[in-house]
């Protein structure tokens, strides 16, 4: 049996690294993280230190295949599977960090009380924090009308995503932007200048500001992010195969 004061804090997210530039040229990022707490007081303390993302931005980073259950819905929670997933995702032994409850059943029918969306401070990977309340056997018998299957992904209208190449992540080069994407998402260049160029100011998921020089040059001519890009690549430890998402 569980008292009304107990709840489970479940943090999860997507698995691939994706860099996201938002707004008037702002950066962002994603992946998966897990924590497990049963003390609501601890929940409130941790929650106060985390930056909450809006749904559209979070879903843009997580990808179109990710959906979240709506608040009020019933879900099945697997404590052992969760702890094993934590260990696998961190490549660490987590026994010392996760409470041991010998009498805990292998699965729990819970009601979802709250969902908040965040990004990891160290990795910029996005994750969702869900607060679950275990239901008593009597509560499980009560009539329940399920809501929709999940909160659909809310993708922004002006954005593009590109998988980074080795050239894009070289500290001596720049980021090659597809022409149609640059014309759709970036502010227009002044082509009376030679070469056409402008400074873009972007913000990441943690509201850190980054500056890039956007230039149109080369043979054939192409859109590039040059000055400031290598600093960003090094700071975020980006490698070929990571994705970058620009949102305007």
H or E segment to which residue 138 belongs: helix 137-141
Q: What are phi and psi of 235, to 5 degrees?
A: -65, -40
Q: Which residues pair with 213 in a beta bridge?
A: 199
CB 96 within 8 A of CB 129: no
CB 19 within 8 A of CB 31: no
Q: Domain spanning 159-247 has what CATH number? A: 2.40.330.10
DSSP-derived letter for residue 156 is -
CB 242 within 8 A of CB 163: yes
CA 70/CA 147 separation, integer angstroms: 7
Residues 6 or more apart from 210 whose CB is under 8 A from it? 27, 201, 202, 203, 204, 228, 231, 232
CB 179 within 8 A of CB 217: no
- For residue 129, give Cα distances in angstroms to 40, 66, 113, 175, 206: 13, 14, 11, 33, 17
Domain boundary assignment for the chain: 8-16+30-141, 159-247
The residue with tokens 């922004």 is 156
pLDDT by residue, tens only, the chain of 248 residues: 333 333 333 333 333 456 565 433 333 333 223 233 333 332 333 344 678 888 888 888 888 888 888 888 898 888 877 777 777 766 655 555 555 666 778 888 999 999 999 998 888 888 899 999 999 888 888 877 766 655 555 666 678 889 999 999 987 879 999 999 899 888 999 999 999 999 999 888 888 899 999 999 988 899 999 999 999 999 999 999 998 888 87
> What are the strands of the beta sheet with 8-13, ordered from one edge?
8-13, 126-134, 108-119, 74-77
Note the pLDDT tens digit of each residue in 59-70.
Answer: 888 888 888 888
């Amino acid at each position: 049996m569980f008292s009304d004061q107990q709840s489970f804090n479940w943090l999860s997210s997507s698995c691939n690294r994706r860099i996201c530039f938002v707004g008037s040229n702002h950066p962002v990022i994603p992946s998966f993280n897990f924590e497990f707490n049963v003390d609501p007081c601890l929940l409130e303390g941790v929650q106060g230190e985390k930056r909450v993302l809006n749904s559209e931005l979070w879903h843009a980073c997580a990808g179109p295949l990710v959906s979240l259950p709506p608040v009020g819905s019933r879900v099945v929670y697997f404590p052992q599977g969760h702890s094993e997933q934590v260990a696998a995702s961190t490549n660490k032994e987590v026994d010392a960090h996760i409470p041991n409850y010998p009498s805990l059943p292998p699965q729990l029918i819970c009601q979802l009380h709250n969902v908040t969306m965040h990004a990891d401070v160290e990795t910029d990977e996005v994750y969702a924090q869900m607060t679950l309340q275990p239901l008593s056997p009597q509560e499980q018998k009560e009539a329940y009308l399920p809501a929709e299957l999940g909160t659909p992904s809310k993708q922004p209208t002006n954005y593009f995503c590109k998988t980074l190449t080795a050239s894009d992540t070289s500290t001596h080069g720049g980021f090659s932007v597809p022409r149609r994407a640059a014309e759709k998402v970036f502010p227009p260049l002044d082509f009376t200048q030679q070469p056409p160029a402008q400074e873009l100011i972007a913000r990441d998921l943690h509201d850190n500001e980054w500056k890039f020089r956007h230039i149109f040059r080369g043979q054939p001519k192409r859109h590039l992010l040059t000055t400031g890009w290598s600093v960003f690549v090094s700071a975020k430890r980006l490698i070929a195969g990571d994705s970058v998402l620009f949102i305007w």
